[in-house]
Amino acid sequence: MPSAAPTGRYDFVVVANRLPVDASVDDDGNVSWTRSPGGLVTAMAPVMAAADGAWVGWGGAPDQEVEPFEVDGTELVPVMLTAEDLEKFYEGFSNDTLWPLYHDVISPPTFHRTWWEAYQRVNRRFAQAAADQAAEGATVWVHDYQLQLVPKMLRELRPDVRIGYFHHIPWPPLELFLQLPWRKQVVEGLLGADLVGFQRAGDASNFVRAVRRLTELTTRGQVITLSKNGRTERHVRAAAFPISIDSGTFDELARTPEVQKRAKEIRHELGDPDVLLLGVDRLDYTKGIRHRIKAYGELLHDGRLSTISTTLVQVASPSRENVDAYAQLRDDVEQLVGRINGDYGQVGHAPVQYLHQSFPMEEMAALYLAADVMLVTALRDGMNLVAKEYVAARSDDQGALVLSEFTGAADELTGAVLVNPHDIDGMKDAITYAVHMDPRESRKRMRRLRRRVLGHDVNAWSQEFLAVLTAVPRRDTHV
């Protein structure tokens, strides 16, 4: 066993693809930082506030070497990525190989050896940065598919630390995962962790099946045993820890007079429709936006929804615009929206309000409050926090949620109207049912949804994961 490398000073280290802040550079070359709005940042904020911790991640701009700096009591440790790293590691292997492969091959994944080499190189850089920051016996929490090799690399550098890894996206069935040329290396990378967390129990089971197929290791339920020279070295647990949102804060925001007033203004600006449908997604082919808009267009054509008094607001925030599949998706969606508005629009009324932009939290809360029916129809999604945000915003116990059964949220949100987004006729029936739902049933469903979302928030998620991780015995690395 190698002796532990020189240690840093932080007892808790988060390793993620991005820092919780975004870098911006002015005309004079000066760098400034603003807090990122992402879900992981929100999830980890209370954990980091309570810990003497460091966060290792990329700062958001290429070819930028920045010394570690402190924000709100957390040491932020930028990892430098070159423009080539971004092209091959991030846009290439992470988002054009792993992302489509892990989302049921909705779009064909691309396999390039140079991308894999870049993925290894960048993961090694992240692992080294984490090793440099972690104190003796520290807890290190690695996040998501961009960094699947970090646990093993970090363990080789620092066998004294506890390592947790959380996989935010789906883990695919074995038959799909086996397409990856570097499948064994990825599995071995994750087995460097003590605890590997997933959104759904099915994802954890898929991972364990991959371990059984690709290694000689012993598995028993969720536990994988690693041995060396016939002697048990350690155990790795794979389990589900469904992520959530800061639901209390969202609930409070939606109760403010300003947000409630804005919700009424939104409906008025849309012409006070009888029915307001809402979709909120990153513009991603996994989100089922085309299927949703197609179903809506057919409902208008069939006369099951009024072309005059129904509006669909589709928020599609920009995403990965340098990847060809995403540029094609934007063209497809905008063509579909234009066709529906051309066929069914009236002077002063467009059946689809399409917004290719992002909005602040306050505006999103108002949109959720304004909507009669929320449409979350992803073809495959690790969790989908938009569904939970909608529920958290509905303190009036009104509204209905149409939710894809292929989201992690479907396991928890049992008051939703579940739908198979590939079944256009079934989706049309589900939307119609939600629109015409009896108010008493709607309130009953929403109360059930809110009990779950408010009772299991992001703090509960992080505490549950860390409680299991920190229960792992410390290892004597000097034997």
- Contact at 8 Å (CB) between 272 and 372? no
Residue pointed to by tokens 């015995």: 473
What is the sign of the dihedral through the CA atoms of 448, 449, 452 and 454? negative
**What residues contact 423, with CB distance under 8 A and at least 6 apart?**
none
Q: Which of 401, 357, 407, 356 is nearest to 378 (CA)?
A: 407
Give every CB contact of residue 282 below 8 A, 6+ residues apart in sequence. 316, 317, 319
CA 286 – CA 384 distance, rounded (Å): 11
CA distances for 24 relative to 21, 33, 69, 278, angstroms = 10, 6, 15, 32
- 168 labelled catalytic: yes
Distance separating alpha carbons of residues 457 and 90, to the nearest angstrom: 30
The residue from 168, 251, 281, 284 that is catalytic is 168
10 Å CB burial of residue 436 (0-12, 13-18, 19+) is: exposed
The Cα–Cα gap between 378 and 157 comes to 39
What CA–CA distance (Å, rounded) separates 288 from 405? Answer: 12
Whether 381 is catalytic: yes
Which residue carries 């540029």 as its tokens? 327
Q: From the candidates 246, 381, 456, 457, which is the catalytic residue?
A: 381
Q: What residues act catalytically?
A: 168, 381
